[in-house]
Structure 1
Amino acid sequence: MKRSYPDSSVFLVPLKDGGFARGVVARTAPTGKLLLGYFFGPRLASQTDVDLSGLEPNDAVLSLRFGDLGLFKGLWRVVGKLPSWDPTKWPMPNAVRRDPLGKTKPILIRYDDNDPSKILSEEVLENDNDLPADGLAGYAFVEAKLSKLLA
């Protein structure tokens, strides 16, 4: 069964110690189970009267690929859609796969701009250029990470 989360959907992520962060679905895999999201502060006190204006990709505190369980289970409430959605302004970022032991060189991962589950290419790098780490976050990880970022 395909799950549907239209690009430009805005949702709320509950934070530890109360409050919410806003998230935007920027890309959805064909199955709907894997998404690319941009996440924003500041911490909101409540789920009512959520401002959808002013959300710009360069202002995101976090951007990553994540599983949809928070949305699917209804833990993350969709509150609207961004007006005038332009996916070219919300790009699929490159990422780096790093060896935790440091024995191999980092690998640049490029994903399909229309499918965050599809790798287009992998390239060995001399250094990782401080790009975000490759991976797929679960909803609990996203909640914890945003809670720290917006503390």
Structure 2
Amino acid sequence: MKLPYSEGSVFAVPLRSGGFGIGLVARVAADDSGGVLGYFFGPRREAVPALESVSFLNPRQALRVVRFGDPFLLNGKWPILGMLKNWDRGMWPMPDFVRKDDLTKTAWRVRYSEENLTQAISEAPEPYDSVLERAAVFGAGAVELMLTKLLP
């Protein structure tokens, strides 16, 4: 199946309180699993913006960088605005994540494959109070809730 998005695609995420946040596809799982790495941005917008109005996206300004499932990109619930001009994969890195065991209060820094977003390629001890993003895969609805909380 041909996906309606690719690396560098910019999309709008409807917020549960109204308005929209912005996402950018930084990685797409090569195995057709529907896995995506996305960078997410504010501010909250009242309407779906034109691609030109968000062409300034910068990875350092992302509010969150998470792995997530793509059903809302596939079914059109999240409108795809188009491709970021001058897309350069190297400028949008795959971050490290943290896997925590809350019972033992231990944690590990996890690096995932650039091509297989579910394949951990390395793990190393990490402080339990690490500020790295959790090594989880968000559902599309969870992404909407996350952005709704971040963009009042």
Distance in 1 between residues matched to 2:56 and 2:85, nearest whole Å = 11
Match of 1:68 in 2: 70
Q: What percent of counterpart residues are identical?
A: 41
Deviation per CA, 1:96-140: give whole Å up to 9, x if none.
110122x15201110112332221112233545321111000011
One-letter amino acid of the structure 1 residue matched with residue 10 of structure 2: V
Distance in 2 between residues matched to 1:16 and 1:69, nearest whole Å = 17
Matches within 5 A, 1:71-110: 71-101=73-103, 103=104, 105-110=106-111
- Secondary structure at the aligned position of 1:76 is classed as coil
* Matched residues, number: 150
The TM-score, its normalising length taken from structure 1, stands at 0.91
- Secondary structure at the aligned position of 2:137 is classed as coil
One-letter amino acid of the structure 1 residue matched with residue 50 of structure 2: D
Distance in 2 between residues matched to 1:84 and 1:129, nearest whole Å = 33
Match of 2:137 in 1: 136
Deviation at 1:95, TM superposition (A): 0.5
The runs of at least 4 aligned residues of structure 1 exceeding 6 Å deviation read: none
Deviation at 1:18, TM superposition (A): 0.7
Match of 2:126 in 1: 125
Match of 1:15 in 2: 15
Task: Structure 1: give runs of 5+ residues left out of the alignment.
Answer: none
